Structure 1
């Protein structure tokens, strides 16, 4: 949990108290603030480095980044590094931004910026400046405890850190480094906020996070976690249960192996992307909604899963949209997009059939006994073979499936010159480093 300008880890106390017990909160004092006010490395990159180091130290199997205002920019940078396969950051499940500063330069009125810089002209903020900052960033007075805590945090903030953010950090453009992050994301804003309110988030962070949901808290402004701690906690809990936390979990041993020096950044990045929870509101990019429904019914019958399940059908549609796949097709088959559309149209209503009829239809497909006007029985047989290959390939490629199977073949070499490889190759042999050796199958 990353605080905003002038805040500290204590700013999250109210939210943490209201969170469900299943969450283990890790609020951080960013360099120059809170207990870290004497730090001297105060740049945006320094803050991101510190957060990444703490994530590595905690080594959680699944984790969220929650960033308020300034902390939102840092959260996005760390999230991009996690998805790029940086060691020790595997397991990121989603991002929550509270009036988050974007990776691009923060939209800020220049008169307001000059005024805030002026507050620190002669040293750290005094009580009058701190009170002015709070008054400008809330829709109604804070409760006395939150007010005193916030004023105290502002007064003890490092003058150098305050100026570093306003004069440099907030103006830095990290857009290229961060790119587009297809993570589950929640953006919470106050209805009375200014440049980082709803309109500002649609113009900035919503473009970085195409899967983001934006929630507006009425009669709140910029200090959301202090103004609405219980509501913020409720939004985080709902986001986890409905969006970020609905993918299959992975054991800590497996996560540590993925983060180790035996795994390359490129492989780690691929596994991190595959581990992201599927979008429950996924809109098909190639298939029609009816075709996707039929494909989901086929997937459930061909490769049944226990909950939480991987949305294999949505992943096939995404594969078709990007033109990716296994690189070949039967000679008598049209391109994959066309083949899938024609076959699924011919199987429309499959999910509504009684179980015996569904099984009979699959047996017909497998044996070459079911044809269409658009695809012959042999073509449908070939398509069904391709479908099964696609489903199994995507399922096995998911890191949670790898962990369940006890597969660690991806850990054959990191980014160094020498690739470690495997020494013990006989059946039943495992090397001392293999973390999955004692994992239940």
Structure 2
């Protein structure tokens, strides 16, 4: 990597994109590919009920899939730190392809639950490896920008993907959805095998501490300040998921149609895709905890606005406010674990920050819907407060010593040079 940014200057988005290593670009491409055809979550229940499974059985299989996805990050983080990032990605994608295709042929609910759990686990297990590799190959003063691009590939994939799903359902079948989903995982696995070159991975293997103990999640959990941030991310996830849980109930319960709710989701999607990468140029310059906390405050403030008048104008305004919070906070939230992690625990730190967010997304709908039924619009007082609490936890956890990643020695250029040499040697 050739760093064209002069000392003291802030990197631009174009410079960051231009100077990314080939490995980072392949990781972005893989993230886009697999999210273009991530159909399991949305269509598993419809597929199973169409095969003759009862609604209860289909729900149980979906639950197994979700449990698998939650545990997949933890398993993937340990595998990445122990065996290396490239191997973790290849193994995850290969297993995900096989298990996703196998769901088409499950004969009963117990087999379906087992296969779905495995499919969820393996589909998620690649992420800690990919994100840790991205951290190692990106200079610290560019990682917020890099993770905003990572999120952009995800958002484009999940936005365009449903169009492909509609075409497949119109001209093929539900089985074709899962085969295509499996094929994209296999494609990323093949690309990782053929194009990703590990070179030396000094930070991506299990190591021992000075006392001779193997590193693991125990060391992650012992980092109390980091765990405060993780708790903040968990609380944030509970608040954020209300856009899919309490918000549709609130909108229709306020006398509006489902089209208004769909329009609010469109506002969110448009603002994120249009502005997140652009804004990351400025949020990258801030102490790492500040955009996280500010975004969480805006998330809470936007949800508190919902508690006021329920006109369409107010609903759009509230959505724009909490979306601004998402845009400001999300890239820094993704960059933070890898920035503060010890090198030998980088993937585990990323996984430790990811799993609680999955758990928050899983239990958040139950909390939001229960609060909606109990208090009506008062649900927004609760979830809005969650955003403010999360901001306090993040500020307490990040603190002054971890505020600026630029204050620490930056190993990424040397790692990127090693990576480039490995790519050229092949």
Larger radius of gyration: 1
| Smaller-chain TM-score bracket | under 0.3
TM-score of the pair, normalised by structure 1: 0.21
Q: As a proportion of its length, which structure holds more helix?
A: 2
Q: Which has the higher contact order (CA 8 A, sep 6+)?
A: 2
TM-score, scaled relative to structure 2: 0.21
Return the structure number with greater strand share.
1
